[in-house]
Amino acid sequence: MSDKEQIGGVVLDLSKYPGEDFYCDGSVEDEILKIVKENAPEDYAAEILKRKDWPTLYHLSGFRGNIAGWIPFDGTEKVLEIGAGPGAVTGTIASKVSRVDCVDLSKKRSLINAYRNRGRDNVTIHVGNFADIEPTLPDDYDYIFLIGVFEYFSHYIDAEDPFRAELKKILPHAKKSTGRIVIAIENRLGLKYFAGAREDHTGKFFDGIENYESAGADVHTFSKPALEKIFKDCGASEYSFYYPYPDYKFPTAIYSDRRLPRGAELSDNIRNFDRSRLLLFNEKLAYDGLAEDGLYPLFSNSFEAVIGPALPVTYARFSNDREQKYRILTEFREENGQVRVVKKALVPEAKEHVEHLVTAFEELKARFSGTPLSVCPCRKEADGEVSFDRAEGIPLEELLDRKLFTGDLAGFNGLIRAYAEAAGANDSYPASDPDMTFANILVDQDGSMCAIDYEWEEARPMAAKDLLVRALTVYFAENPKRESKIPEAFLKDHFGITDEDLEAGRAAEKAFQAKVTGGSIPLSSFRAMLGMDVIVPKEIQAQNPGIEKETLSKEEFRAKKEEKKRKADSISSVQIYFDRGDGYSEQDSYFAPEMYGDEGRMSLTVRVPGDVRNLRVDPALCPCFVLPEKMTVDGRTVHAVRKAMRCSGTENPDGSITFTTNDPWMEWRMDKLLRQAGIRGGRAGESGAEERTVTLSYQMCGMPSTMAARMSLDGAKRRNLL
């Protein structure tokens, strides 16, 4: 057998291959290999939607490459990727550097890597044990990547201290003085593990927090101080830490010690795609406090440690869950002691969107000339990027929170009024920025305001009130506790903004998000699509019924789902759940006797006991469209039904809801329903509270599985189906 094989432009070096794969995930790798053989990389997203399983998402999602996509390569680098596996990150690196040498123990995984990158001619994959290959590798790599590899060293290396022993072997292969080693790994003390997520490798609750007492020696992640000690013990005197958020597997942002997150930025925390989890506390609120106290580096879910000279990028945010023409990368770069903000296209289709920023600046500058609001200047660079000088100041959003959560409503009112006067100036001028939210306004020490992000500028006038409604809509959506702190009628009395205005703002926001995403499904939606639950137990104890479901294997979990489906026709069954403070359970649910009428119409009547806190309606046991029409409590109309509702689907601009999961649900808090129905003084969720009669009218139609995958129907087509 030849020592080398070639697949497209990729070379497989098999000279150290032992002839057998000792690490394999089984038949799933055969399926992934088939996908990459038969499909181009741009078609992987469709395959992920088609299959709806964790391995396909994990191995083929474009988000995986973000962990390396922010690094400022100049195109001349020589890179070593240890443990490259099926190549989830290899393609991103290879697209930006001169040469990539990969090392992996598995031939099958290396074949997957080769086929998905066969269009490149700068990739060589060395198949075999790293211990055998390492002596043949050069010592002048600009970057050495270990993505999700470091924690497994004890599994492959026979040494008293495998982590230090292996790192000492790797360090000499980095170019002297300028070479870097990049290690991406979970944090043993990541906040998600305290909140109820299972340890990523062992699948056990609190395993890493308890220092892997039950897991043996096959895997080990570390806290930040522990990693720092390992680096120092190995002679690495220069290193820096970056913090991929939500984690290194699917990062959407990269923070650093030079640019740590503010709490309001950390709101996308439920990412259990491979297994169900508990939710023991609100991670966003916990992150708010940790960020405020400067403790985020200790509790970040993942680390991306860079051994070697610090990188000039201090922060990066990916916007690659959008429609192609809007996919961009935002970076903070530190150069000569100055920080500038850079925006660049992630794909060629987005170049026009980035370049429009220069035009947008000129138009907004003209509109706000002579007003209390300035616009942060930007300029086009030679490489097509657009850069901004970093403006100084505190985000208006942060200042508003300080006033609101300390009860200073007068101060809150003053800031809102100042924003309305500044952002609404010259509102008849044909240039506006619908995304001029509180987070995109910086306030300096003398109270002057500056707009810092205007990528959505439009050549049309926009009324001052509409700008304020949009800003408030986003402000409330990011943290519902904010709206609850504002007295009733406060916005109407001070700014003329009614509940109807806010409802219209929410509808406009959904339309805006639909424009940005172009119908693509955000990564956060995949959890429900993959059937992974989040359970909020009343108390943490083994006999909690919700935990029993969490201990089922995936096959048992699916069997339970199938059994549930067999009990009733999936398209015509409506199941009602009551939550009395313990969470939802099958024991406290029933199938409604009502059946769907003509054109999928349903008028549902539910007698809700007084001690019920939350009411849930499952309209079907399959993907579907639902259009809520009317709701009453004790005969009184519930105003703004969707405002009072949470659901497992995507709310569309036309008022319908798209459910792509086999477990669609709509949920209402009973105390909120009473308020929305104008029932003053009514109690809900307490012993002795009055029973209520809730009626709900809606239209529903089933969705074929192929349509659930595509999710490409526009509003008119949805209405026709309904």
Write out the DSSP string of 31-49: HHHHHHHHS-GGGHHHHHH
Note whether 122 and 98 are within 8 A (CB).
Answer: yes
Helix (H, G, I), strand (E, B) or coil at 665: coil
Tally of CB atoms within 10 A around 414: 13
Phi-psi category of residue 531: left, alpha or beta, with phi > 0 → left and psi -120 to 50 → alpha = left
Helices 409-423 & 464-478 angle (0-180, nearest 10): 130
* The residue to which tokens 């259009």 are assigned: 627
Note whether 115 and 33 are within 8 A (CB).
Answer: yes
φ, ψ for residue 597, nearest 5 deg: -95, -155
Stretch 697-706: mean pLDDT? 71
Q: Which residue has the higher pLDDT, 596 or 609?
A: 609
**Pairing state between β 10-13 and 123-127:** parallel
Helices 224-233 & 162-170 angle (0-180, nearest 10): 60
pLDDT at 61: 94
pLDDT at 278: 87
Q: Which of 10, 18, 5, 1 is nearest to 131 (CA)?
A: 18
Element (DSSP H or E) covering residue 69: helix 66-69
Q: Is the pLDDT of residue 382 over 50?
A: yes
CA dist., res. 132 & res. 16, Å (int): 7
Q: How confident is the model at residue 356 (pLDDT cuts 50, 70, 90)?
A: very high
Q: Which of 132-141, 166-175, 476-485 has the lowest mean pLDDT?
A: 476-485
Residue 186 is given by DSSP the state E
Q: pLDDT tens-digit profile of 181-228? A: 999 999 999 999 999 999 999 889 999 999 987 655 578 999 999 999
Q: Is the pLDDT of residue 542 over 70?
A: no
Q: Which residues pair with 380 in a beta bridge?
A: 386
Note whether 101 and 80 are within 8 A (CB).
Answer: yes
Helices 499-517 & 464-478 angle (0-180, nearest 10): 80
CA dist., res. 701 & res. 600, Å (int): 6
CA dist., res. 357 & res. 80, Å (int): 37
DSSP code per residue over 611-656 = T--EEEEE--SS-EEEEEEEEEETTEEPSSTGGGEEESSEE-TTS-
Residue 348, C-beta contacts closer than 8 angstroms, at least 6 positions apart: none
The stretches of 196-340 forming alpha helices (DSSP H) are: 224-233, 283-292, 296-299
CA dist., res. 263 & res. 261, Å (int): 6
Phi-psi category of residue 393: left, alpha or beta, with phi > 0 → left and psi -120 to 50 → alpha = left
Tokens standing for 600? 């999928």
Q: pLDDT tens-digit profile of 21-71? A: 877 667 889 999 999 999 999 999 999 988 888 999 999 999 999 999 999
Tokens standing for 621? 């046991």
Average pLDDT in the chain: 87
Stretch 298-313: mean pLDDT? 98
Q: Which of 505-519, 589-603, 684-698, 704-718 has the lowest mean pLDDT?
A: 704-718
Residue 308 is given by DSSP the state S
Stretch 229-242: mean pLDDT? 97
Q: pLDDT tens-digit profile of 480-490? A: 778 888 998 89
Please state the domain extents for the chain: 4-18+29-326, 396-447+459-517, 552-721
Considering only the top CATH level, what class is 4-18+29-326? alpha beta
pLDDT at 214: 66
Helix (H, G, I), strand (E, B) or coil at 224: helix
**Pairing state between β 575-579 and 614-618:** antiparallel
Report the range out of 134-138, 587-591, 643-647 with the highest average pLDDT.
134-138
CA dist., res. 522 & res. 63, Å (int): 11
Give the angle 138-139-145 at the CA atoms, nearest 5°.
90
State the sign of the Cα–Cα–Cα–Cα dihedral 677, 682, 684, 689. Answer: negative
Q: Which residues pair with 458 in a beta bridge?
A: 432
CA dist., res. 549 & res. 560, Å (int): 9
Q: Percentage of residues in the chain with pLDDT exceeding 90? A: 60
pLDDT at 20: 86
Q: Which residue has the higher pLDDT, 706 or 609?
A: 609
Q: Which of 122, 181, 518, 511 is nearest to 347 (CA)?
A: 518
Helices 107-116 & 27-38 angle (0-180, nearest 10): 20
Range 431-453 burial, b when 16+ CB lie within 10 A, else e: bbbbbbbbbbbbbeeeeebbbbb
DSSP code per residue over 531-584 = T--EE--SS--TT-HHHHHHTS-HHHHHHHHHHHHHHS-TTT--EEEEESSS--
Stretch 112-135: mean pLDDT? 97
Residue 359, C-beta contacts closer than 8 angstroms, at least 6 positions apart: 457
CA dist., res. 546 & res. 551, Å (int): 9
Stretch 289-311: mean pLDDT? 96
Stretch 99-125: mean pLDDT? 97
Q: Which residue has the higher pLDDT, 562 or 546?
A: 562
* Cα distances (Å, whole numbers) of residue 621 to 250, 273, 601, 661, 700: 29, 20, 16, 8, 12
Tokens standing for 209? 């927090």
pLDDT at 684: 85
Q: Which of 122, 70, 64 is nearest to 89 (CA)?
A: 64
Helix (H, G, I), strand (E, B) or coil at 270: coil
pTM: 0.74
CA dist., res. 712 & res. 699, Å (int): 20
Encoded amino acid at 205, one letter: F
Q: How confident is the model at residue 567 (pLDDT cuts 50, 70, 90)?
A: very low
* Cα distances (Å, whole numbers) of residue 278 to 195, 212, 268, 532: 7, 19, 16, 11
Phi-psi category of residue 3: left, alpha or beta, with phi > 0 → left and psi -120 to 50 → alpha = alpha
Note whether 113 and 11 are within 8 A (CB).
Answer: no
Q: pLDDT tens-digit profile of 407-437? A: 999 999 999 999 999 999 999 999 999 999 9
Q: Which residues pair with 578 in a beta bridge?
A: 615
Q: pLDDT tens-digit profile of 138-164? A: 999 999 999 999 999 987 788 889 999
Q: Is the pLDDT of residue 709 over 80?
A: no
Tokens standing for 44? 């992987």
Q: Which residue has the higher pLDDT, 112 or 575?
A: 112
